[in-house]
A and B are shown apart, each in its own frame.
Chain A
Amino acid sequence: DIQLTQSPSFLSASVGDRVTITCRASQGINNYLAWYQQKPGKAPKLLIYVASTLRSGVPSRFSGSGSGTEFTLTISSLQPEDFATYYCQQLNSYPRTFGQGTKLEIK
């Protein structure tokens, strides 16, 4: 199985900050990586797919990059509604593993 390791697990930041979350895969995943945002009590929502493609309707302050085994999600200027937990997911093979999550909190 492919393991995904996200870092950091917790991140404290302020409105307006630029933040980056990293997701490392235990082997190559052909860039078949998605990023999701989840708020408490709600279902996850897709942000980015195939490593760097922004889902329609997602603000442009979100961006994804990377290739091979290392990928990043960047939020260029944090807004109050961005404080949530973020997950990466690989869809290169089964099982469709997720990273352990990064909780983004207000400083």
Chain B
Amino acid sequence: EVQLLQSGGGLVQPGGSLRLSCAASGFTFSDYAMSWVRQAPGKGLEWVSAISTNGGSTYYADSVKGRFTVSRDNSKNTLYVEMNSLRAEDTAVYYCAKDIWSRWFDPWGQGTLVTVSS
């Protein structure tokens, strides 16, 4: 069974940093691009970042460019996002998702809540 298990969320002060992880199982992780998507409380989905199979290409939404860094460790079947200079508007549930041939996301992780507040 394909699974994405997320960890690393929590409460952080404005200006702080946090790293989220997404552990993959049930498929050959290194064969697939991966993405991060977030959802602010009561709002819609916002694509955040993507990374190619070998990590050589990365993509970011303008809202996080320069502050977030996506990476992956194919030996550990794990996706990461390092979030720096966090702002209140980064408060959201963050989801990782398996990117199928850059044409759809399936499945998604269970989500992890990041709260940026003093």
A50 close to B (CB within 8 Å): yes
B27 close to A (CB within 8 Å): no
Complex: A97 Cα to B44 Cα, angstroms: 11
Inter-subunit contact A49/B50 (CB<8 Å): no
> Which residues from B are CB-within-8-Å of A101?
44-45
Inter-subunit contact A50/B95 (CB<8 Å): no
Complex: A35 Cα to B57 Cα, angstroms: 25
Bitwise, A63-107 to B at CB < 8 A (1) or not (0) is: 000000000000000000000000101010011111111000000
Complex: A95 Cα to B110 Cα, angstroms: 22
Question: With A96-B35, A96-B50 known to touch, is A91 a contact of B45 (CB < 8 Å)?
Answer: no
B56 to chain A, nearest CB (A): 15
Complex: A50 Cα to B106 Cα, angstroms: 13
A104 to chain B, nearest CB (A): 14
* A95 contact from B59, B95, B105, B108, Cβ within 8 A: B59
Question: With A34-B103, A44-B95, A91-B103 known to touch, is A96 a contact of B108 (CB < 8 Å)?
Answer: no
Inter-subunit contact B50/A46 (CB<8 Å): no
Question: A101's closest neighbor in chain B, by CB?
Answer: B44
> Which residues from B are CB-within-8-Å of A95?
47, 59, 61-62
> Which residues from B are CB-within-8-Å of A50?
103-104
* Interface residues, chain B, with chain A CB atoms under 8 Å away: 35, 37, 44-47, 50, 59, 61-62, 95, 100, 102-111
